[in-house]
Structure 1
Amino acid sequence: MTSTPEPPGSARPGGRTARNTAAVLRATLDELGEHGYAGLTVDRVAVRSGVHKATVYRRWGGVDGLLAAALEWSAREHDWAPTRTGTLEGDLLALAEDVRHGFTDAPEGAVSAASIAAALASPVAAEALRAFMADRHERSAAVVAEAVERGEVPEGTDAVEVVRCAVAPVYHRLLVGREPVSDVDLRRAARIAADAARAGAFVSRD
C-alpha cells in the first residue's frame, strides 16, 4: 500500500464521515489500551472521539463492533512491512524484535495485550484478531518467499509457518510465561526457525 486507505464505514475519503470514523476507531484503541476490554465503553469512546454516542451505537452497535472495526482499521491504516536484512535469519530476527516491541513499548504494548485479552472474552474480538494476525503473517511471509528466490531455503517452503515458528517463542514468553524477552532469546528463535527452514522442515511431505 502506498496511501492510507479509507477506514471501514467511511462515506467518502477526506469527508466528515471518514474523519469521524477514524476518530472513533482511534479512540477505541486508545481506550482499550488505557482501560482494557472490561473498561471499554461506548460512552468513553464517544467522549474521547467527540462523536455523539447515538452515532456510535448506530454504526457499530456496541463495544464488540467497535473493537472489531478498530482492529481491521488498524491493520489497513498502518502500511507495515517487514524489515529486510538480506538473510532469512536476519529478517526473522527483525520480525521477532517487532513482536517484542509491539508488546513492551508504550502505548502499543498496552493495546496489544488488551487485544489478546479481549479475544479471550469475545468471539467477535477473537475473529477480528485472527484477521489482523493473518494479515501480519501474510506480509511477513514475503521475507521467506524472497529467501526461496535467493536459494537460501528450498522450494515449497511454507512461508507463513516459518514466520510462526520464529515468533511463537516470543509470544509464549511474553503472554504465557509473563517473562522478559532478551536479545539472546530473539536470536535463538530466529536461528532455530531459519535452520529448520534451510533443512526443509517446512516443506510439505504430502
Structure 2
Amino acid sequence: MLLKHAFGLFTHPDAEWAEIRREHETPWHVYVAYVLILAAIGPVCAYISTTYFGWTVGSERLIKLSNISAIQLSILTYIAILVGVFALGWMIDWMASTYGAKSEVDKSNGIALAAYAATPLFLAGFALLYPVPWFNALVFLAAAAYAGYLVYDGLPIVMGIPKEQAIVYAGAVLTVALVILVTTRVGSVLIWNYGFAPQFVG
C-alpha cells in the first residue's frame, strides 16, 4: 500500500524517493491510494474542531461554525487540496524539459512528487483538532518548510536531474505552489460571496 511512503519520507527520504521512482505508479493510483486518503485529514479534523470544540481569539467568547457551514467549507477545502496537488504535479512535469528532466505523457513523476512532498501538510491536518490559531499556524509553517525540503530533495531523484539543477527547479516549483495557494485564498473569498460564507454560532 502506498501509505507506507508517508513514514519513510520522514525517516529516510532519499531511499523513499528512489523507491517511489522505481514504482512509477500511475497518477490515478497515487490519487486513490494516497492523496484521497491523506488529503481528508485536515478537512475532517477542521470539521470536528470547529463544530464541537470551537475556538477563541484573545478573551472573546467561544466561536463555533454551524454544522452545515462546516460541512460545506470542509468539502470545498478537500476539493481545493485535490486540485492543488494535481495542478502542482502537472506543472512539475510541464517544467521538466526546461531543467533537463524528461516530461511524461501521463505525468506520473510530477504527480507523485507533488503528492508525496505534500505529506507533511496532509499530516499537519491533525493539529486542527486543537483549534488554537497560533498553534495551527506554527504546525503548518513547520510542515510547509519540510514539504519544501522534500521537493528539493526529491526532484533530482524522481525527475532524474543533477543535484545542481534541483535548486533552481525547486525554486520554480515552490513559486508555483505559492501561486496555487494564493489562488485558492482568492477563490475562497469569491466563493464566500456566493452563499458559502462561514456561519458562526456563539
Taking structure 2 as the reference length, what is the TM-score of the superposition? 0.32
Taking structure 1 as the reference length, what is the TM-score of the superposition? 0.32
Q: Point out the structure with max Rg over C-alpha.
A: 1
